[in-house]
Amino acid sequence: MTQEDAPLGEFDLIRRFFTDIGAARSDVELGVGDDAALLRMPSGADLVAAVDTIVAGRHFPDGSDPRSIGHRALAVNLSDLAAMGATPAWATLALTLPSVDAGWLERFSRGLSDLAGAHRVALVGGDTTAGHLTVSVQILGHVERGTALRRSGGCAGDLLLVTGTLGDAGAGLALVRASHTTGDAAAAAALIQRFEYPSPRVEFGIAMRGIATAAMDLSDGLAGDLPKLASASGLAAHVDIERLPLSAALSAVTDLQQARDWALGAGDDYELLLAVPPRNCEKAVSIAARLNLRLSAIGELRPGGGVTWALNGRESAPPGQGFDHFRRASTQITV
Ligand code: ADP
Ligand code: MG
């Protein structure tokens, strides 16, 4: 048996796949290898922490490319930090594996490592156990004290802006599962890419400090997420459905109604939803342009409570009436 074929012990596995992952950072006093990591916080900063778990068969289809699983596990966490306007720095990984497969681990580790490197995040620790495939990443970062974006800061009259396009990941997942089909192979590939490799809007989130009054990331779909921002801000929200940003790829694979349903209800887009006072909108637009990021105004915050929806100026039924988290297009189950 060659070294390559020998069964990997836990120690070898950690050394081979999870040591020196992501950026080398001078604020990591001690990373993988001891009982805990030692990290140096910049002075005058708040520590920002978030954790998200993705489970095979729930948050991604069984048999998904492990490179995508590694990417998504970190991306969903980076997206949470983006929504706070925080700078990500360190991550820990709790990995539960049904078996040790070196080829699988290699691709998983590459997906994680490429995205970590791109955002200057260092993997500083973790835990490895046997069981149903479950990936839990904790992200740690920092934000200058007093400047973090929250869901609760919105003001009546603020415009609601969203980055990128909505509904692509929902369509991508439906295509992966073959519950939706199309003859347009290029559009299908682009949409599947959006599901498998979400792009957390970290730079834009950081730049929105002092410009947006409130922010959150869209993981569960606008129809599910917007009420959370509105109620945290103690306000009503209004959305004009015809202003939802839809990609050319999405429009190429389906009709407008289905595209809007995915945009509102499918989730997994990991775009940012922001409340921005009209006086700051020009700044937000120019920052988005500099980052090559689409930014669309879709509605506004108003006095009162609840969310209203209109289509071409006519009040519309709340999208996703009878919308059921356990039957939605996304694999994400919110409990
Ligand atoms: P302990 O038993 O003290 O918790 P472990 O033997 O589980 O330590 O882990 C040894 C070291 O390897 C620790 O620094 C831990 O953070 C790190 N580690 C374990 N699993 C992973 C993983 N999947 N990814 C990154 N680091 C890991
Ligand atoms: Mg220990």
Mean pLDDT value of segment 293-318: 94
Atom of ligand 1 nearest to the CA of 127: 20
- Asked if 89 contacts 141 with a C-beta cutoff of 8 angstroms, the reply is yes
Backbone angles phi, psi at 163, to 5 degrees: -85, 160
Task: Please indicate whether residue 14, judged by its CB atom, sits closer than 6 Å to ligand 1.
Answer: yes
Q: Provide CB contacts within 8 A for 106, sequence distance 6+.
A: 17
* pLDDT level of residue 328 (50, 70, 90 thresholds): very low
* pLDDT level of residue 8 (50, 70, 90 thresholds): confident
In tens, the pLDDT along 48-66 reads: 999 999 999 999 999 999 9
Q: Which residue has the tokens 């003859």?
A: 183
Q: Which domains does the chain have, with CATH numbers?
A: 10-144 (3.30.1330.10), 151-316 (3.90.650.10)
Beta bridge partners of 296: 162
Nearest alpha carbon, ligand 1 atom 13: 33
What is the Å distance from ligand 2's center to 318 Cα?
Answer: 51
> Residue 330 pLDDT more than 80?
no
What is the Å distance from ligand 2's center to 33 Cα?
Answer: 9
d(CA 172, CA 71): 16
In tens, the pLDDT along 138-164 reads: 999 999 999 999 999 999 999 999 999
Q: For residue 320, what pLDDT is reported?
A: 61
Of all helices (H) and strands (E), which one includes residue 233?
none
* pLDDT level of residue 325 (50, 70, 90 thresholds): very low
In tens, the pLDDT along 14-33 reads: 999 999 999 999 999 999 99
> Residue 219 pLDDT more than 60?
yes
Task: Please indicate whether residue 255, judged by its CB atom, sits closer than 6 Å to ligand 1.
Answer: no
Q: Provide CB contacts within 8 A for 176, sequence distance 6+.
A: 61, 192, 195, 196
Task: Please indicate whether residue 32, judged by its CB atom, sits closer than 6 Å to ligand 1.
Answer: yes
- 0.95 exceeded by the pTM? no
> Residue 5 pLDDT more than 60?
no
Task: Please indicate whether residue 95, judged by its CB atom, sits closer than 6 Å to ligand 1.
Answer: yes
d(CA 54, CA 50): 14
In tens, the pLDDT along 59-109 reads: 999 999 999 999 999 999 999 999 999 999 999 999 999 999 999 999 999
* CA of 124, nearest ligand number: 1
> Residue 315 pLDDT more than 70?
yes
- With H, G, I as helix, E, B as strand and everything else as coil, classify residue 56: strand
> Residue 262 pLDDT more than 70?
yes
d(CA 161, CA 298): 6
d(CA 303, CA 51): 33
> Residue 279 pLDDT more than 80?
yes
Q: Which of 3-17, 177-191, 217-231 has the lowest mean pLDDT?
A: 3-17
Q: What is the mean pLDDT of the chain?
A: 93
> Residue 4 pLDDT more than 80?
no
Percentage of the chain beyond pLDDT 90 is 90
